[in-house]
Structures are given as structure tokens and as C-alpha cells.
A and B are shown apart, each in its own frame.
Chain A
């Protein structure tokens, strides 16, 4: 119905209103189109991220049906995307890991967790086991109804293989070490048995020799024969016995050292927090005689505690300080500095001396068994540092040396700090 009573003025106003409305609608349409473009672009972007990701991705329905998977996941298990999207997750999962996966689903549906991460095995189309690291989260709509699971799947098969090899190597190494210690123990022990005889009967010969000497002196024997006999006895026989006995003594020292070392490897460790200030003051007290004799100044800073077997750690520092005292430079007054610090969960101790020092070419050998730098000048069986290293190895610790010939040496001992838990073999 037209209202002919409207004035021209009114009509113009209405027209203007309609034009404004049109402009608004046009603007709204443009905005809508722009939004649609953004949405389309976003859709492409997210699809691109999903499809082209090098990490496996899957959308799974709450019933386990795979709704959408990406190329990376399909390739990982040897399927095409289309083939895979017809399957249920359980058909792809290693039978032993299905229960674990169902627990993940239950947990997310029950809203016990926002995300669920686990290591699980899939089966490749060819039957091969594929180890993966899987993270899953549940997407719900506005009414909190579960829609689908979003899962990221990372291939860790190579990592698992390496882990397994590492475990195996470690196991083998432990076995070999045990065998080696057993061999050292048995051989050094069994070698000692014949040595008892060689030494015993050589001594018996020595006794017999003495009796013969006395008989020769007492009996009526022509002088020239007596001289001959005495020459044989004193030069040949006595010399032979002397060398036999000194060789036995040496061999016995070596065997005792081997035995000591092998026992060290087999002894059970009793791990506890060690007050190193107390430990070092015990060690220094025990070495008081040598310290006084050598006229050495020992300066011990406040030391951080560590985690270890107190008897064995005492042995470590006793050997190191003993060495420092033994290898002082007579040309200058002896100085020993001991200090420590905590660094990256490890207690590091340094024993610094101003002794004769070790030439760089010898430094790597000083920890070797029976290695002695100055066999003629200094006593010892060449085991002190080998024992130190063995003890530290068993404590998951280490030792290294910095030294300059003619200036002195610094031995750095690293041990787990007192917070460290022991995972000894």
C-alpha cells in the first residue's frame, strides 16, 4: 500500500536510509568474503601442517576408527593414506600394546588428563615392529562431547635399537669385567701355590748348603778339594739360590698386587655421604710421619661432601697424598694444596703438589697396572694409581692429571656429590 500522503522530504529520507542500509550490507558481504578467504587459507594452512608434517599425525574417532592420517604416519607403517583411513587403530598396534593404548583412550575420555604420552609399538604392513613415541589429546565440541583424538607419532625405532645395543654392550662389558677379575684372581692365586714350593725348597737348599759348609769345615778333606768345594758352594750354588729367592720375592709382590686389585673389584661398596673434611684429616693424620719427615706444608681448604664407600675413598686420597709426598722435589720445600668444589652434581677435588712433576708423554701411562716411572729410585709395586682409578670407576667417578715436569702435579678427582644416587653394577 502506498501512502500518497508522504511528503517528498520524507521519501528522500527513506531513500537515504535504504542507501545506507545497502552500503552496510555491501560492507558486511565484503567482510564475510574476506573472512571466508581467511578461513579457507587457515584450512589449507592447517591441512598443510597436518598432511605435510614429517611427524606422523592421526585423527581417531572415540571408537578407535582412524578418521584422518597424514602421509608421514602412513609411510611409517607402509600403507597409503586411503588404506589406513579404513582401519581401526587396534589393527595397526602391536598386540602387546593394545591394552596400553586403550588405557590412554579411557584416561582421556574420563578427562583424567589433558594429554597422554607413551612409548608404543605399531606393526608395519610387512609385520616389522615400529617403536614410536606417541602424544594424544582429545578434541571436544562446544557441548564437551568427545569428537576425535589428535595424535602425534614419532618414530623412535632407531633410538630403541641403539638403546638395546647399549644395554647389551653394557651387560657384556660387566660380564667381561667379572670374567677378567675371576681370571686375575684364580691365576694369581694358583700361581702362588707353586711359588710356595719354589721358595720353600730353595730355602731348604739354603739350609742344606749351610750344613754342607759345616761338614766341609769339620771333616778331613784335602785342601785343594776343600777349596774347589767351597768355590762351587759359595759362588755357584749360593748365587743360584740368591737369584731364585729374589725372583720369587718379586713375583710374590706382583701376584699379591694382582690379588689386591681383583679383590677391590669384587668387594661390595657400602655407599653413604662422606664428610670429606673428616676423611682428609684422617688420611693426613695417618701420613703424619711421612709428612714430618719430608717437611711438607699441607694446606686443606674446606671440602664439599661426596657420595661413596668411605674406606675406599680414604684409600684413594691416601694413595694420592702418599704419591705427592714420595715425589717431592728435594730442591725446594714441599707444598701440598687440597681443595674442592661442586660442579654439575659432581664433587671435584684437587690435590696439588710442587714436586718433580710428570712429563706429558708419561702422563697417560701412570694409571696403568705395574707402571713405574722411577723403578730404581722409588719403592712401590706400581699399583697405587691403578687402584685409585679402579675405585673411582666403581664409584662412577674419574681422575685426571695436569702436570709439568719440574713444577708439580695436580690430580683432579671427580665423584658423585652427596645428593647423587648410586647405580653401581
Chain B
């Protein structure tokens, strides 16, 4: 994959950082394995709850913090301790800069009302983690495909004035 500029957006390249917000270590490991199998070689950063994720993105509290100008994709679980995924999504979508980050809900919740809520708030995609592993693998592979075509803008600074 070669980097290409489209309307200030960026095709998913190895420079794009993938953030996984997922309280279940096992789920995170399975997602990482299958993303790798789907050919996604990007750096993956894993946070274990909504608070850690928000602290990183909004650059507050303890390290690590987001580097300005970095292109990000967020894979967000819904049911997490402290701050849940829907709230994380809400806060991101309320921020003038962070709202540009593609947020993909990756969650066991397949309740139509949750799905509707997340789409209404503005998630880019909603993927459920089925118990059936063959389906799970398929879902993550499709997620990987989505990631290869998604346009990822850099956040804060570099795109100003465009």
C-alpha cells in the first residue's frame, strides 16, 4: 500500500496508528491476531477502559498521550469499566478535531438499539464480535478490509487551513 493524499484524507497506511479500547485482554489478543492475518501491519495500541482511552486522546492525566499530527483509527468496545464505549464515542464526536477520527465499534452487543445509538452519534462502522469464531474471524477480516480503504485524516495542526 502506498500513501496517497485524497482531499486532505489519507488512505490507511502503516503510518496510521490503530487504537483498541477493549477491557477484555483475550478479545484484544484475538482481534490483533486476526487483523495481522488480514494483512494489517500497523502499530496497535491497546487501552483497557474508556477513561484510559479518553486520557490518551485528549492528552490529559497519565501518559501515554496522543502525538499531535498523527493519523488514528479507533476500535471501540461498548461495555468497558469506568467510561463505556458509547460515552467515549460521544466525547470524541463533540470535539472539533477528534471527531475526524474514524471510530469503529467492535463489540459483543448486537442490540439493535445500541447499534442505532452509535450510528446516530457518528461511528464509522459497527462490528459485532460473534461467539462463533469462524464468524468472528470473518468479521475482523472485513474490518481489516475496511481499514485498508478508510480515509484517515491527521489530527490537530497539520490539516489546518485545508
- How many angstroms between the C-alpha atoms of A194 and B131 in the bound complex? 9
Interface size on B, residues (CB 8 A): 17
Q: Select from chain A the residue with minimum beta-carbon distance to B137.
A: A203
- How many angstroms between the C-alpha atoms of A192 and B108 in the bound complex? 7
Contact indicator B132/A252 (Cβ below 8 Å): yes
Contact indicator B132/A193 (Cβ below 8 Å): no
- The residue that A199 contacts in the complex, of B33, B109, B132, with Cβ under 8 A, is B132
Contact indicator B24/A197 (Cβ below 8 Å): yes
- How many angstroms between the C-alpha atoms of A83 and B124 in the bound complex? 81
Please indicate the chain B residues that have their CB under 8 angstroms from the CB of A197 in the complex. 24, 26-27, 30
Main secondary structure of the interface of A (DSSP, over half): helix
Q: Select from chain B the residue with minimum beta-carbon distance to A255.
A: B131
Q: Select from chain A the residue with minimum beta-carbon distance to B110.
A: A259
A189 interface residue per 8 A CB criterion: yes
Q: Which of A171-209 contact B (CB under 8 A)?
A: 189-190, 192-197, 199-204
- How many angstroms between the C-alpha atoms of A202 and B79 in the bound complex? 23
Q: Which of B118-139 contact A (CB under 8 A)?
A: 129-134, 136-137
Give min CB distance, B99 to chain A, whole Å: 28
How extensive is the interface on chain A, given as a class?
20 to 34
Contact indicator A189/B79 (Cβ below 8 Å): yes
Contact indicator B129/A189 (Cβ below 8 Å): no
Q: Select from chain A the residue with minimum beta-carbon distance to B111.
A: A263
Give min CB distance, B30 to chain A, whole Å: 4
The chain B residues found within 8 Å of chain A, CB to CB, are 24, 26-27, 30, 33, 79, 108-109, 111, 129-134, 136-137
A-B contact pairs, 29 of them (CB 8 A): A189-B79, A189-B109, A192-B131, A193-B24, A193-B27, A194-B24, A194-B26, A196-B24, A196-B26, A196-B30, A196-B129, A196-B131, A196-B136, A197-B24, A197-B26, A197-B30, A199-B131, A199-B133, A199-B136, A200-B30, A200-B136, A201-B30, A202-B133, A203-B133, A204-B33, A248-B131, A252-B132, A259-B111, A263-B111
The chain A residues found within 8 Å of chain B, CB to CB, are 189-190, 192-197, 199-204, 248-249, 252, 255, 259, 263
